[in-house]
Chains A and B, each alone.
Chain A
Amino acid sequence: MHLDASQEKLLRGEGGEAKQFAMEIVSKVGDAVGADSLVPIKSAHVLAHYSSLHDAGIDMLERFANSGGKFAVPTSVDPASIDLENWKSFGIPEEYARQQFRLCDAYAKLGGMRCWTCVQYQVCNFPKGGETVAWAESSAVVFANSVLGVRSNKITSGMDVACAVLGLTPKFGMLNDENRVAGVAFKLSLDHLTDLDFRSIGFFMGRKAGSRVPALLGLGGDVSSDQIKHLGAAAAAAGPVTMIHLPGITPGTKTLSDATGGSKVEEIEVTRSDLEEIESDLDQTTEAPDLVALGVPHLSVNELGELSKMLQGKKLRRDVRMYVYTSSQAYDMAERTGISATIEQSGARISHSTDAEISPLKRLGFNVVMTNSAKMAEIVSSEGEIKMRYAPQKKIIDEVTS
């Protein structure tokens, strides 16, 4: 990869240790992927949760923060591994919280926006169409490329902070037009899509698309941005998907031909039996859950409102907990509008600034977790310690409430 004179200086350490460390990471990545240059970014989104970063991640983030590093562009952050406000009441051990707070402190020292969410595009990080960003969090990257018309690769942990500190990213992958062309088309001809169906459709596409950019036909004009959020999250959890062409929604894509650049591509019909196969793969047991986890990715305030209607007048069974995950901003709004009160009178709890799949569920004693998130079912089941159940929100509520 070509570095200009000022970038060469940073690599030699003339811009300080933090930028040198950052430049070592991005230049090695650039060489590995065959990028020709570094390009400016408008924003960054980084990871700083203890469950995945571990103590090594603290060393990494503190190294950046304590050697003079500052984020060069507006930077948001994915959820923490604990509810940063109410962690004690969720039973999080003190020593675990302490390590998460070290990550929080280093992140704050670097100058990041303290909005701990995986749906930054709904609450605190608003790029406009055509901009280039460097975001970690695969579900947000799919949303950025597919709905916002923003260009981002799925940025790996460590490189996310490096890009944020430099305000630069290697030009490769989804930053180049030729890699944004659809190579496979999925066709939906299903009626009455449930919340689970959107996840299962995404998951099916993620499995089948391989390294091709998929297009999705037949979604219908009344699909909500929240539904696309969950569809994209599931696709990215199941495979290397970073963009889905949605004709009529994706900027610049009115038709399938716009998505494929006029080329003929393989077309795959998505049938009810395909979705049932996904459901049976992700739904691992018939055992009763000890935890219901909703909100992977974070629910919006609209979704919290819908959930509160479903929980109105219902009571959670005593042997099961229900945690609902959202951003701090949606949490505050739900508090002020009475949505939280309705959800919590059922016995469910709302947790913010963290998310289920990155919290220490096993340590907290949970063994069977039920969700409508394909992303969560996939991630948590891969370790084999917790059994996952996967069902539509309505079915979950019917099962665990009276």
Chain B
Amino acid sequence: MSQGALKGRGLMKGTARGKALLSEKAFTFAHGVDPSSGDVMDVRSDIRGSNVKGAVLFYPFGKGSTTASSWFLETVRKGNHPAAIVTEGVDLSAVIGAVMAGVIYGKKVPVVSGVPRSAYMSIKQGEEVSVDGDSGEVKREK
């Protein structure tokens, strides 16, 4: 593992790179992200007003409705999805949404879990990071 990298468990394969978008609170795409823009609209989110498009999205846990996978998939259909998702606990909505995105739209969204909030919050908002969904590695890029 390269120096300074965070190590989690890869749940969806593939590699991606983008600006870090870090949430410290439980997150949901269901009523939480506007699929037609990628804007975070959940009034209870600490990153409301940010945009997930092309970002590496970090959050500790999923929450709320079991429809979050479909909201996520619609975000993919519209091309406004994050480049990768990194979580502390397993968020099945992210996993299922990413599987469907691959099968239906041929888009890869790597998903890594097992990266604690305390570890990823050492990354700065907007810092360039790369994610390897095979090895589970999350790295800062210069």
Q: Hey, which bits of chain A sit against chain B, CB under 8 A?
A: 21, 24-25, 28-29, 31-33, 47, 52-57, 59-60, 63, 136-138, 154-160, 240, 379, 381-384
Q: Bin chain B's interface residue count.
A: 35 or more
Q: Closest residue to A136 on the B side, CB-wise?
A: B66
Would A157 and B99 be within 8 Å (CB), given that A32-B11, A382-B31 are in contact?
no
Q: Closest residue to B42 on the A side, CB-wise?
A: A382
Q: Digit string of B55-69 for contact with A (CB within 8 Å is 1, else 0)?
A: 000000001111111
A52 touches B67 (CB 8 A): yes
Chain A residues with Cβ below 8 Å from B104 are 56, 59-60, 63
Chain B residues with Cβ below 8 Å from A157 are 66-70, 93, 96
B residues 46-102 with Cβ under 8 Å of A?
63-71, 73-74, 76-77, 90, 92-93, 95-97, 99-100
Q: Can you list 20 residue pairs at the A/B interface with Cβ under 8 Å?
A: A25-B99, A29-B92, A29-B96, A31-B11, A52-B65, A53-B67, A54-B73, A55-B74, A56-B74, A56-B77, A57-B70, A60-B100, A63-B104, A136-B66, A138-B65, A157-B67, A158-B73, A240-B63, A382-B44, A382-B64
Q: Closest residue to A382 on the B side, CB-wise?
A: B31
Residue picked from A157, A160, A383, most chain B C-beta under 10 Å: A157
B32 at the interface (CB under 8 A from A): yes
Residue picked from B30, B42, B69, most chain A C-beta under 10 Å: B69
Q: Digit string of B6-47 for contact with A (CB within 8 Å is 1, else 0)?
A: 000001100000000000000000111001000001111000
B70 touches A47 (CB 8 A): yes
Chain B nearest Cβ from A28, distance in angstroms: 5
Chain A residues with Cβ below 8 Å from B73 are 54, 56-57, 59-60, 158
B113 at the interface (CB under 8 A from A): yes
Chain A residues with Cβ below 8 Å from B43 are 381-384
B103 at the interface (CB under 8 A from A): yes
Q: Closest residue to A31 on the B side, CB-wise?
A: B11
A32 touches B92 (CB 8 A): yes
Chain A residues with Cβ below 8 Å from B70 are 47, 52-54, 56-57, 60, 157-158
Chain A residues with Cβ below 8 Å from B63 are 240
B99 touches A156 (CB 8 A): no
Chain B nearest Cβ from A364, distance in angstroms: 17
A379 touches B65 (CB 8 A): yes
A154 touches B103 (CB 8 A): no
Q: Closest residue to A138 on the B side, CB-wise?
A: B66
B96 touches A25 (CB 8 A): yes
Closest 9 CB pairs of A and B: A52-B67, A54-B74, A56-B74, A56-B73, A56-B77, A384-B43, A157-B70, A156-B66, A53-B70
A156 touches B77 (CB 8 A): no
Contact of B69 among A24, A33, A159, A240 (CB under 8 A): A159
